[in-house]
Chains A and B, each alone.
Chain A
Amino acid sequence: MRPQSHSILKRIILLSLVLFAFSAVPRSSDRILVKIDKNQRVNIDESVVQDVTVIQELDSCWIAEVSSEQYATLQQVGATCEILDPLPAAKVYYLLLAASDQIHAIEPLGHLTVIEDQACLFWTEGEDFWDLLPAQIQVKRLPERTAQRITFATEKQEPVVRLQEETLPNAKVLQMVGEVAKSNLSAYIQDLQNFQTRRAATTSLEAAGTYVYDFFRARGISAEYDPFTFSYQGITYATRNIVGSIQGKTVPEQIVIIGAHYDSTSDQPFTLAPGADDNASGSAAVMEIARIMSNYSFDYTVRFICFSAEELGLLGSRHYTQEDARKGETILGMIDLDMIGYAAKVNEDLDLIANNPSEWLANLFVSCTGTYTTVSVLKAIRPAAAGSDHSSFWDQGYSAVMGIEAYPLVNPYYHRTTDTLATLNMDFAASVTQAALATAATLARPVSTPLSPTNVAAHSVIVRSLFSRFKTVLLSWKSTDPTVIGFNLYRSTTPYVNFQRINSAPVKTSDYTDRFLEPNRSYYYVVTAVDGQGRESNYSNEVRDDQKN
């Protein structure tokens, strides 16, 4: 071979190698849908997964979208990470919660991957599959991203109890709980059932929405429609969530939500879907709770929401929570009631579903249920139980729990035309309504006399001598209640809990200087107002030193 041709051959080989290497390196824009196990056999630094886009948390894993580089890194560190779909771009994924014997009916409809027990990832082109899905399957349309993040360590949020700790029942909450009327619940369920069907994309669902809206308005509750559109079988439909609201008296920006979906489905969804248990029962509870709470005042704003199109993949709550997240609203907690009327046995337990960050709310629910009702609650941390509207709140990082008669479902009339009022145990439904009311009211804090101070602010400085230094916190607040004669101040080193009173006698002015504190520690304060009869208000909003409220 001549030297010149040898050189050309070398160049060709070199160029080929470069091209091969270039094609083998994934482009940075490549995205892959993966399943990342929660129980990793190797220790993985959380920085490896901090930018991973979590789409859904399940009990044993996360479904997440990662870049090729992130996937390569996960492989390098030995993470158990399985590709679910190498080309997720522009696809709509659904989480199907189905029993194993139902899976074979879904398989022909599209791409189905069993992720874990009863949880499948499903995607398909078009939306023709809806009418072919078995009615008993719970469906959630997965979001593009959630606020959740991956943490391999067992990350349990502090058992934060965001309220004044009470050892005795609150008289007002007790009074409210006593006002729950079983007959009202039955009447509301019957009214909703009378719409024949409340399937999304039907006019009768919209009529049911108007019924709920009018119910709120008739009781003096501020109500509004929250409209949105969705596509079904290639046609765009409009529907509405119904949002009732009681404005908070002292801290209106903090919001407590009690919600339920009011749409229904069945094996004949467009003609007959009475949905008495699923979910006229939950909607009726929300209406009854709204009726009772509308006669009281609360520190925090309380919203009563009946969501639409839950049965089509949680569309109503998805729309609502995305809007809320966009507005930056502070949702303290959400209680979702879905199927609370069917009792498979005498003294049925209420199943309460939470994810890890919402466990504090579940604990509060259990505590309130024990204090104010006779129903027993089975709490379960089940991130995979994503088949109802609470899951949309989880996706946005809000705390939410779902109360349900049994999980997994045991109601033989579920999503059938036979799901009627006659099959329900209204004593059980009334007890669950009482439990949810007690929790919502406790969380929202019934306004006591006098009103809580507002505009609490704390400013801290360091004061020193030569050998010592202390933090001094200057607190100030406002009170508009003329019956107030003094204030009590409470301090904690942990947010929301363990407050200790720091003043010996009520402070007469609207400021206070807390001295000789550790300089390198954060302190949290709340203020209460005291009237002439010694009655104390609820806590004010919490403020951290150097944080204006």
Chain B
Amino acid sequence: MTKRTRLAAVRCRMVIVVAAVVGTAVLGTGPLFAQSKSDVRRFSVAASVGIARPSDQAFRELYGSLSYPLSIQADYGLYKNLLVFSEYEYVRRTGKTQVVGSDLLLTGDPIKFRMHTFGMGLLYAFHVHRFILLAGGGAGLHCYSEAWEAAGLTTTGNKAGFVAQGGGEHPLSRHISLIGRVEYSRIAVKAKSASENDANLGRLELLLGLSFHLGRALHR
């Protein structure tokens, strides 16, 4: 493991710890704060799975055109229709190496890609009948790694990027809603892909899941 790779791993672990601390604080104090301060404010935690299309063609060539992210997102009502969200997302893909610029049929080596994303941002919520529609954006820290075991090589790194999301909620019970979300992210990283240009680890994804509310929900 190179010095650069070790540094990146340490930084990634620090980010996870910080996110855990922040997450615990939000989860622990959020409901109390929400209940005591205002009825219209709320706290919710949503878990969702989805389907994503990576934006980068080189990525798609190596790992396929679809991936399946898992997401946990916490929303906290700040003011009227404005919410702050914090999100953790995990995506993992396996693929095969590719031969560049040759018709030679070589069997590719298996490669593995993993990415943990810690995002935070603002959402604007508004009601349409029994639905709540949400739209917003923020920033995310993406900790990624690629393992090429045959070469004994693992490349890790982290990169900040922006996240835009929109979606809707439909209440199933007093505390539970069905949620659907579309998310777009852009994560430009230095990569040694075919063109030796930057690669974009970002993706367009569609997520479906359940949201659990604490405190009074926004929907009526």
Contacts and interface: CB of A to CB of B under 8 A. Distances in A.
Instruction: Answer yes or no: do A and B interact.
Output: yes
B34 to A, nearest CB: 42
Interface string B175-205: 0000000000000000111100001000000
B192 A469 contact: yes
Interface string B52-85: 0000001100110000000000000000000000
Interface residues of A, number: 15
Nearest to A516: B151
A466 B100 contact: no
Contacts of B102: 461-462
A472 B105 CA distance: 12
A172 interface: no
Contacts of A468: 146, 148, 151, 153, 155, 192
A501 interface: no
Nearest to B199: A466
A76 interface: no
Interface string A462-488: 111111111010100000000000000
Contacts of B95: 465
Contacts of A462: 99-102
A469 B199 CA distance: 14
Contacts of B100: 461-464, 469
B146 A467 contact: yes
A465 B154 CA distance: 11
Interface stretch (B106-114, B117-125, B165-173, B207-215): B106-114
A465 B99 contact: no
A467 B192 contact: yes
A466 B151 contact: no
Contacts of A464: 62, 97-98, 100, 192-194
Nearest to A472: B106
B25 interface: no
B104 A466 contact: no
A249 interface: no
Given A470-B151, A516-B151, A465 B106 contact: no
Contacts of B99: 461-463, 472
Task: Please report whether the interface of chain A is mostly helix, strand, loop or mixed according to DSSP.
Answer: strand
Nearest to B146: A467
A463 B101 contact: no
A104 to B, nearest CB: 70
Interface residues of B, number: 28
A420 B113 CA distance: 84
A516 B62 CA distance: 18
A182 interface: no
A95 B192 CA distance: 59
A374 B72 CA distance: 84
A459 B199 contact: no
Contacts of B113: 466
A467 B97 contact: no
B101 A465 contact: no
Contacts of A515: 150-151
Contacts of A469: 100, 192
A465 B97 contact: yes
A463 B191 CA distance: 14
A465 B104 contact: no
B186 to A, nearest CB: 16
Contacts of A516: 151
A356 B58 CA distance: 50
Contacts of A459: 104
B106 A466 contact: no
Given A461-B106, A472-B106, A466 B193 contact: yes
A465 B62 CA distance: 7
A473 to B, nearest CB: 11
Contacts of A470: 151
A386 B199 CA distance: 61
Interface string B27-38: 000000000000
A503 B101 CA distance: 27
A467 B155 contact: yes
Contacts of A461: 99-102, 104, 106
A512 to B, nearest CB: 14
A107 B98 CA distance: 75
Name which of A461, A467, A474, A515 has the most chain B CB atoms within 10 A of its CB.
Answer: A467
Interface in B142-167: 146, 148, 150-151, 153, 155
A171 B102 CA distance: 46
A474 B59 contact: no
Contacts of A465: 62, 95, 97, 111, 146, 148
A274 B199 CA distance: 81
Nearest to A460: B102
B105 to A, nearest CB: 11
- Which of the listed residues A466, A469, A472 has the most CB atoms from chain B within 10 Å of its own CB? A466
Contacts of B146: 465-468
B94 to A, nearest CB: 12
B153 A466 contact: no
Contacts of B191: 466-467
Nearest to B103: A461
Contacts of B108: 463
Contact of A463 (B59, B97, B193): B97
Interface string A349-391: 0000000000000000000000000000000000000000000
A472 B100 CA distance: 11
8 contacts: A461-B100, A462-B99, A463-B99, A466-B192, A467-B155, A468-B155, A469-B192, A470-B151
Interface of A: 459, 461-470, 472, 474, 515-516
Given A461-B102, A464-B98, 6 more contacts: A461-B100, A463-B109, A465-B95, A467-B191, A468-B192, A515-B151
